[in-house]
């Protein structure tokens, strides 16, 4: 009986110690979350772009518990800055956060010459198109005439993302669109893509050819995957 009582005492003590430990952990977490010592007081932004106003990021973080801050905290900032693809948060305890911002990739400059005043935009990987005066070492497509068919930007994105898979200097590409066909220039090569359809498939055939040969002449697509190379 004495032995059994001793075992019960030990088990009760063990249960009590576990309970006390868990209670201390919860109290510590509660204290940390609500403590002014762990409130965000400083923010640093790491980004390739200088367009961000740091005060916009203070709104959702300043004097908030550092334990509760993560990438989802900045959803509202993605609405204001739609070029943001991802925000990751690094923390320097007790009160500083570092925001690492990555943006959707810029793919091509679109210059629309159909109006009285030319309009220049940058087309991003996510389909976003933003007016910009900068070329940023990007390929260029000039729209000389219209109309532009539905899905045109999607075709451009598919073309540029495919060409990025090849060892080519994409910044030297220049394209013209006359409302029906796309004609491109790459160094000393002229490329007639034909209609602005299946540009991703055409880009795969073109990229393979340009990467593996010193083509200097004319290339004409007679289908999505068929082309005639005179170089």
DSSP code at position 65:
B
- Give alpha helix (H) positions in 35-151: 54-58, 75-80
Model pTM? 0.79
Question: Mean pLDDT lowest for which of 1-5, 183-187, 226-230?
Answer: 1-5
Contact 67, 32 (CB under 8 A): yes
More confident residue, 6 or 88: 88
pLDDT for residue 221 is more than 80 = yes
Proportion of the chain above pLDDT 70, given as a percent: 85
The pLDDT value recorded for residue 129 is: 94
More confident residue, 204 or 35: 204
Q: How confident is the model at residue 207 (pLDDT cuts 50, 70, 90)?
A: very high
More confident residue, 98 or 35: 98
Proportion of the chain above pLDDT 90, given as a percent: 59
Cα separation of 182 and 173, whole Å?
A: 12
Nearest one of 31, 35, 53 to 95, comparing CA atoms: 35
Per DSSP (E only), the strands in the chain are: 42-46, 84-92, 96-103, 106-112, 119-124, 129-131, 140-143, 173-177, 181-186, 189-195, 218-221, 227-230
The distance from CA 200 to its chain's CA centroid, rounded to whole angstroms, is 20
Q: How confident is the model at residue 5 (pLDDT cuts 50, 70, 90)?
A: very low
Assigned token pair, 194: 């034909």
Backbone angles phi, psi at 3, to 5 degrees: -65, -45
Q: What is the pLDDT of the chain when averaged over all its residues?
A: 86
pLDDT for residue 11 is more than 90 = no
More confident residue, 77 or 193: 193
């Amino acid at each position: 009986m004495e032995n059994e009582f001793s075992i019960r005492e030990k088990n009760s003590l063990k249960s009590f110690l576990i309970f006390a430990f868990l209670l201390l952990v919860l109290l510590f977490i509660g204290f940390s979350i609500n403590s002014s010592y762990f409130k965000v007081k400083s923010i640093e932004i790491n980004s390739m772009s200088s367009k961000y106003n740091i005060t916009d990021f203070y709104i959702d973080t300043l004097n908030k518990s550092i334990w509760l801050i993560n990438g989802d905290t900045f959803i509202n900032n993605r609405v204001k800055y739609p070029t943001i693809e991802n925000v990751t948060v690094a923390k320097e305890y007790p009160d500083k956060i570092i925001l690492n911002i990555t943006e959707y990739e810029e793919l091509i400059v679109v210059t629309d010459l159909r109006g009285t005043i030319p309009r220049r935009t940058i087309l991003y990987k996510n389909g976003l198109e933003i007016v910009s005066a900068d070329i940023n070492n990007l390929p260029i497509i000039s729209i000389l005439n219209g109309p532009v068919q539905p899905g045109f930007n999607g075709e451009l994105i598919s073309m540029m993302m495919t060409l990025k898979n090849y060892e080519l200097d994409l910044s030297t590409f220049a394209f013209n669109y006359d409302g029906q066909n796309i004609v491109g220039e790459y160094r000393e090569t002229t490329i007639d893509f034909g209609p602005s359809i299946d540009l991703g498939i055409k880009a795969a055939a073109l990229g393979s050819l340009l990467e593996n040969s010193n083509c200097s002449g004319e290339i004409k697509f007679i289908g999505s995957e068929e082309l005639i190379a005179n170089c």
